[in-house]
Structures are given as C-alpha cells and as structure tokens.
Structure 1
Amino acid sequence: MKSYDSFINGKRASMPPSGFTIDRDALHPSLFDFQRDLVRWALRRGRAAIFAGTGLGKSRMQIEWAMNVHRLTGGDVLLLAPLAVAAQTVREGAELGYEITMCRSQDDVRPGLNIANYEMLHKFEPVFFDGVVLDESSILKSFTGKIRTDLIESFAFTPYRLACTATPAPNDYMEIGNHAEFLGVMSRSEMLSMFFVHDGGETQKWRLKGHAEDAFWRWVASWGVVLEKPSDLGYSDDGYILPPLTITDHVIDVGGEPAKTLSQRQKARRETVAERVAAAAELVSASEGPFLVWCDLNIESEMLAAAIPGAVEVKGSDKPSFKEQAMLDFAAGKIRVLVTKPSIAGFGLNWQHCADMAFVGLSDSFEQVFQAVRRCYRFGQKRPVNVTMITSSREGATAENIKRKEADFRKMVAEMVQYTKEITSESIREAGRDVAEYEPRVPLLIPTWLRSERFASTA
C-alpha cells in the first residue's frame, strides 16, 4: 500500500514550478545575500509565499521579484498593499531605481510596475496583469471575507503570483490554507481533508493528524519559505540584531473590583477613559521625540487628540487620502505624535524613526497588539523601544499577559521554522531550476513492431 509520504509527494508533484531561473548577480546589488536568494527562489517557483519577520526587507524583495517578472514577460505587474503602505513602496522602488505607478483604477496603469490599495481591487481588470504581489498578504486570513475571495478568484489565472507577510501564527492553519489556495497550490478544503482532523463543532477548530505533521510542513516548504531572521536559513544576522524592548505596565488605581469577564473589562475601559488619557498625555509631554499612541475606542482617540498638544488623530471615518498623508507625515517626522488604532495603522508601515509608544486602550487581539508594536520594533530600529500599557486597576495588569502570549508565539514560530529550515535552505540555495519528479505508476508496453529486429537495425 502506498505510504502517506508518497501520497503527499504525488500531490505535491502535481504542482510543479512554473517560474524561471535568473542569475543571482543579475539581481539588484543593494539586496542582501539572503534577500537575493529568496527572490531567485520565488522567481523559480513562479507562484510562492514569503513568510518573513518584520523588517527583513519584504518590500524590496517583492519589488525586485515584480521587476524581473516584468522584464521577462514584458507585461504589467500589480502590487496590492494596505493604505499608506503603497506610497511607502513607491518610495522604496525609487531607491532601487524603479518606477512604480500609484493607481486608483485600471485607467491609471502604466507599463511595468503598478501599485494600489486593496480597497481599490474592484476597479482593476486582473486579466491584464502577468504578475501580482500581495503585500501584507495576511489579509487572506479571513477565510469568509469578501477581499479574500475576490483575491483568489481574480488572480486564479495570473501566471506569476507572490504573497508576502510576517510569519503566521503556527496554529493559524486557515491563513496557510488561504495562501495555498491563492497561489493555486491546493484548495483550503483539500488541505484540511488531507492533513487535519476536525475537533468539535467550531469551523476553525482543526488540528494536524498525528502522522501528518512532518508531511504538512514539508508541503508548506515546497511553495512557501518561513524565517524570523537570516540565520534561520543559514545566513549571517549582522545588522539584524534588535535592540532591547521594554514593555511596562502603567496601572491607574481607580478603585472597584477587577473585571472578571470580557464585558466587565470593556465596561471598565469605557468608565476610566479620562484617567487613562490623562496618564498618556503626561507620558507624551515628558518626551521630546516621536511618539505613537494606540487606542481601541473612538472616545479614547478623540480625547487623546484633544489632550496632547500637536497630536494628529487618524480615525476610521477619515478619508483615505487624509489617513495616508498623516501616516506618511509621521514617518517623515512632520508629525511628532500620532494617535490611531492598530486596526487602522498596525500593518506594514515602517516607523523605525519612533522608539516610544503607549497603548491607552488594548484590543483583545494579540495579533493586533503584536503587529502594532512591530511598526517601531523591527529590524532597522537603532534605539531601545519603550512600550507602555496604560490600564486601570479594574482592567487588571496587561503587560505580563502580552509577554506570555509573545513567549508562546515565539516558541511556536521557532518550531515551525525548525520544521521548514532544512528543506527551504536547500531549495533556496539550489542554483538549478526545479523539475517535477516523474514517478511512473503504469507499466510501459512496447509494441511488437518497435521491438522487431528490422526496426532495431535501422534505429
């Protein structure tokens, strides 16, 4: 009987590389060795995912990938990114000497590289593009979301596809499955039936089959690469050692019983806004450098902007053009204090110029808090980063909980990297073009006339 591994290998061989080989030295000289090898690997795959830690240069890698797809095909490539990240990418492209056209619709598209916000996808004709790049592709996480479905369906026939995002939570299998489906490797439902068993009635409660864990990560490594730092793939970490990160609890004593339930905690947040805003304003006034203030409620955002002189508030109801400009101005140092929510500006932006931030209202989503901290605490940051969690005594301390979840996340990511590092290291460093292995399953019958002596003598 065919083994499970051979079954998986058979499924994997049905999705051969669809890309092309390029000389390593032909890639932009400003890219680090690991970045050049990752770009080469992704070009060779044709359709690939790069799950890389914050600050590892995903923007530059995806721009270089897109430019080489354009050079090969002569066609256009569309890059999709979150709000404000698009303009940031245009600037990074210019640093590489490449022109990237900012687009609002198909009418704005110019030959070569084009970029737009995800919200504008409905204004484009995907069939006209030879390549597509998803920046911050964790947008695929929501397996019932409209954008997720639109992305998968719109680019189902696009020859070259690249998805780039930070390392996913190792137990977030839906996100991995959605990436595989976007890339045309395997549908999410097929992935679940092949590698997982369903626990209970919750649609998201899946766990890996006991005998399938190694096979699953080998399958992921055939189309995606996972790394948190260059040394995960055998490269030097020079320039990629982060400075210290300090997370401090600032708990305001307001009396009353600590919250025990989610609804009680939310009630405590609403009733202690004034005290927490006052503490944040005092903290910001004691600093002279850039400061980032995260909040969770609209009332927190409004009161913070009023209490902190010169602070600029970016809220969900603002026009996209205002949000984008404010975020860019903060990055450029034109705004000293920015007040906003992780759901608005927590993904993709490079704010290493800032080393101080405060959370005046905490989302219950660990991912949102984690990503918000990583806007400043990312490779390229030169100063120690200070994060202050401002809460009331009724909410309970939060910093220790964040640290615990961070430690759990790091442990799980390390396990995921360990599963894939040897496979991906060998694949990425491989100089030749990948070739799908031929595994014959049906005996070959040679016709009698082909075996005749007369034919053999003339052969």
Structure 2
Amino acid sequence: MTAYAEYLAQRAQLANAGGFDPVHMPDHLFDFQRVLVDFAVQQGRAALFADCGLGKTPMSLAWAQNVHEHTGKPVLLLTPLAVGFQVVAEGHRFGYDVEQSRSGKPAAPITVTNYEQLEKFDHSDFGGVVCDESSILKAFDGKTKAIVTEFLRLVPFRLLATATAAPNDYTELGTSSEALGGLGYMDMLTRFFINKDRSISSRGRTQHRITGNPTDVGGAIKWRLKGHAEEPFWRWLATWARAIRRPSDYGFDDGAFVLPELVERVHLVEPESVRDGFLLNLPAVGLREEREETRRTLDERCEAASAALEDADAAVAWCHLNDESATLARLIKGAVELTGSDSLFEKEEKLAAFTRGEIRVLVTKPSLGAWGLNWQHAHRMTYFPSHSYEQMYQAIRRMWRFGQTQPVEVDVITTPGGEQILTNLHRKAAAADAMFAALVAHMNDALGVTSHAYDNEMEVPAWLAS
C-alpha cells in the first residue's frame, strides 16, 4: 500500500475488526439475534442498539461465552442496580455458567456485577466486558464514569448493549465510539459535524457550548452533519454498531415481537393556590415558573396519582422530587418507597421484590429504577413529566416491551403549566423515532443492504433484460 493510500485509509475512520469467528452460536437465539451476535464477535468491540425486549441479555451472554472460550479468561458483565439477578437467572435458563459477584473477584466464566461495584475489580482478570444498558453511563457521577471508562480502556474485547444509545440525538453516538476505543466524541464532532450557532461572552469572545441535541433551541451550539460527510458518517458507524427496533428491520419475521397497545391518559391538575404576588393563576412560562408550579401543586398531583393506582394489582408511581416520593408512599396503599438514600443492598432488594411481585406499588425516581429491569408482570404506572425524554422512555419501557401481554396504561399527571413540558416530550419522542428509523436505514444503506428478504422476484432494467 502506498503512503497516500495509507493516508486515505486512516482518514476513512473505519474501525478495524479485532474480533474472531464465533465458536458458540446457541440454538435458542432467534435468527436476527444470531446475525447481531456474529457481527459483534467478528468486530471484537461493538455496540448493539436493540430496542427493549429484543433479547440483549441472551445476545450479550452468547457474545461473552465466545470471548471466554477465545481468551480463556472470564468476561465481566456490568448491569444497572438489581438487574444482575435477572441476567444470572436468564443465563442459567440457557445453560451458561454465570454468577453474580460483589467481592471484586471473578465468580464464573461470565461474572455479573453492577456498575457501582466495578472499582473492586481488576481489569487484568478479564478477557472482555459487557456494558448492559450502556447509555446509563452518562447518568453517573464523574467518579463512577471515570472508573468505567478506564476499565473499558484496558480490556481487549468490549460490547455495549442498550436500547437508547441516543434517544433523540445522534451526536451522543460519539460517547459509545469513545468507550469502544474508536473515534473520540470531540473528534467525531469535528470530523463529521458543523455548528451554526455561537454565543458571545460579555467580553466579546466567542464561546462554544455543546448541546446534546442538534435540534434544541437556546444559546447552545446546534450540530448538524456536514453536507459531504453524511455518507462517510453512517459508513463509519456501521463498522462498529448495529441498530434494530424489530426483526423486520433486518428483513426477518416479527413473529412474537409485536408490542401491545400503549394507553396514555393525561390528567391536568389545576393549582388550588395562586403564586405569590399574583391575583390569578397565570400559565407557567419558563423553567423557573414550571418548577414553582410543580412544587405548589405537589399534594394535588400526588393525590391524583394515588387515585389512579387505587385499583392496580401491580404498578409504579414515578416521581422526581423527594417530597413527591414521600407523599406518594404515604397516600398509596401498599406502596414501598425506594430512595436515593437507601443503601445499595436496600435498593436492589426493593427492586427485586417488585420484580418478584411482592410489592403492589413501587414509588421511585426514573434515575433510580428505570434501567434494564423487566417488569412485564405489571402494566400500570403514573408519571410526572419532566423535560427528560430518556427518563420517560426508560420508565415506560420497563413494562411496555416485547413479551408484555397486556396493554400498558400510563397516567401522566401534570398541571396547565406542565402542558408545555408534555408537548416538548412528544416532540422529542417523534424526533427519537425518526432518528432511529434513519439510523437503521442508513446503516443498511452503508452496508449496501436494501432488503434482507431473499424470496422476492428480482427486477432488472429493460436494457439488461434484453
């Protein structure tokens, strides 16, 4: 290869496949799952962006078994709180040697622990690492995130598995690339994206402030793909990631992977008191007034949530404030409150108890209990909306996921001032759905795939047919 050809190859930013041919492909995997596992093993360091209920756990276990047999070393599988016991149970059901460890030592060829326990472990003990619900990394504090990032950097084989890599923001895909040892977040932005907005400081100097979403409004930079970089961007992404919402995205039969109905009921709670200094209740405008109205209507909203869940056999009352949590736990019969001040053991035990059906109503925040858990045994919840689309998405998807047999009912409780928040969430949901559809389409296009259905009659140009 000439020096110029080497230069062009480097500029292409195509990730080098550092993996190997799979030696383990279990029969229990669905056809689309086998395709994804094969890709991830061949790649060595890969990301699987598969929607909730598509089987990220069996795919992760199959990948981990391949890495274990290839390296002769255990594989560490990292999960959010209280998800580990689900992974272990599913692993045993499929015949894997998998155990949970909190001691910092490998417990089995596939060792499971939660992210908060990672600092106890030595990277040199493992041949690979799986990050389950990897998008949770951005929700951690700086210390935990740094520990995870450093651990990943020192392990040769890596897999990221999540449903929401970037729920409405493809610039966030750079954080996944960086975790896999590929192109860094800022390097990705400068190579493939351009910003159009700049904010001017009081001293007249241009300041850049990165926003998560290129479509966000405000003073932050809005990033968009460079006109000539769109195709190279998707081709680069396709070298290390796969995205799938349903089997038919890859041309397979959806079969049982069809979601039940999602029923969203919006309850508007009128404030009983007036803001200080006002004679009438005026619509809340801006974050400050929205937050003030949220606190002023706390009792009324919690009472509405309690009434909505009065006849539920199993449900979750999601909240965001400590006072909301305490009030909901007091008002709802049979409720158990999970709080940030609980110990790790208490958090895991409460989440596991609700999963086992031992708690009628769990009261908690999305930041504590909305990651990775399978709650198909329940189909009722209440939700106080905030501006975080990802939190609401994850909260709803604990129940509304493939394998759920009942329509999932979500009672969204807000105020007139909160209607703007709800409108913003629906806008973000539409943007997220459009982004994921584009992600799948562009990945297939980058791979030269237009359809995976091989039983269709081929159409050829008239000049070729003649």
Q: Place the TM-score, normalised by the shorter chain, in its bin.
A: 0.7 to 0.9
Answer yes or no: is the 8 Å Cα contact 2:271–2:296 preserved in 1: no
Asked whether 1:184 is paired with 2:181, we answer: yes
Closer/same/farther in 2, CA of residues 8 and 392 from structure 1, 3 Å limit: farther
Between 320-329 and 150-159, report the one with greater CA deviation: 150-159
Runs of 4+ in 1 over 6 A off after TM superposition: 5-8
SS in 2 for 1:51: strand
Closer/same/farther in 2, CA of residues 305 and 14 from structure 1, 3 Å limit: closer
CA distance in 1, matches of 2:356, 2:447: 37
Asked whether 1:353 is paired with 2:360, we answer: no
Asked whether 1:275 is paired with 2:305, we answer: no
Structure 1 unaligned segments of length 5 or more: list them.
Answer: 430-459
CA distance in 2, matches of 1:290, 1:8: 58
Percent identical: 42
The aligned counterpart of 2:234 is 217
Asked whether 1:339 is paired with 2:363, we answer: yes
CA distance in 1, matches of 2:326, 2:262: 28
Asked whether 1:263 is paired with 2:288, we answer: yes
CA distance in 1, matches of 2:392, 2:151: 31
Higher RCO, 1 vs 2 (CA within 8 Å, ≥6 residues apart): 1
Answer yes or no: is the 8 Å Cα contact 1:251–1:397 preserved in 2: no
Q: How does 1:281-430 map to 2 (within 5 A)?
A: 281-287=306-312, 289-359=313-383, 361-396=384-419, 399-423=422-446
CA distance in 1, matches of 2:327, 2:35: 48
The aligned counterpart of 1:172 is 169
The aligned counterpart of 2:76 is 78
SS in 1 for 2:412: strand
TM-score, normalised on structure 2? 0.84
Closer/same/farther in 2, CA of residues 244 and 427 from structure 1, 3 Å limit: closer
Q: Deviations over 1:204-258 (max 9, x none)?
A: 3332211101110110001100111111111111111111111111112235222
TM-fit CA distance, 1:311: 0.6
CA distance in 1, matches of 2:107, 2:51: 31
SS in 1 for 2:403: coil
SS in 2 for 1:242: coil
SS in 2 for 1:79: strand
The aligned counterpart of 2:119 is 122
TM-fit CA distance, 1:102: 1.3
CA distance in 1, matches of 2:123, 2:450: 30
TM-fit CA distance, 1:353: 1.3
CA distance in 1, matches of 2:48, 2:319: 30
Between 300-309 and 138-147, report the one with greater CA deviation: 138-147
Answer yes or no: is the 8 Å Cα contact 1:67–1:113 preserved in 2: yes
Answer yes or no: is the 8 Å Cα contact 1:225–1:424 preserved in 2: no
When the two structures are aligned, how many residues end up with a matched partner? 421
The aligned counterpart of 2:17 is 17
CA distance in 2, matches of 1:11, 1:354: 50
Between 317-326 and 184-193, report the one with greater CA deviation: 184-193
Answer yes or no: is the 8 Å Cα contact 1:249–1:397 preserved in 2: no
Closer/same/farther in 2, CA of residues 238 and 247 from structure 1, 3 Å limit: same
CA distance in 2, matches of 1:17, 1:126: 22
The aligned counterpart of 1:46 is 44
RMSD: 2.5
Asked whether 1:240 is paired with 2:257, we answer: yes
Higher-Rg member (1/2) = 1
The aligned counterpart of 1:113 is 110
Closer/same/farther in 2, CA of residues 142 and 372 from structure 1, 3 Å limit: closer
Read off the aligned partner of 1:335 and give its amino acid letter: I
TM-fit CA distance, 1:145: 3.6
TM-score, normalised on structure 1? 0.86
Answer yes or no: is the 8 Å Cα contact 1:141–1:148 preserved in 2: yes
Between 254-263 and 269-278, report the one with greater CA deviation: 254-263
Answer yes or no: is the 8 Å Cα contact 1:8–1:215 preserved in 2: no
Asked whether 1:202 is paired with 2:227, we answer: no
CA distance in 1, matches of 2:143, 2:433: 31
Closer/same/farther in 2, CA of residues 87 and 189 from structure 1, 3 Å limit: same
SS in 1 for 2:48: strand
Structure 2 unaligned segments of length 5 or more: list them.
Answer: 199-207, 212-220, 273-280, 453-466
Read off the aligned partner of 2:209 and give its amino acid letter: E
TM-fit CA distance, 1:19: 1.1
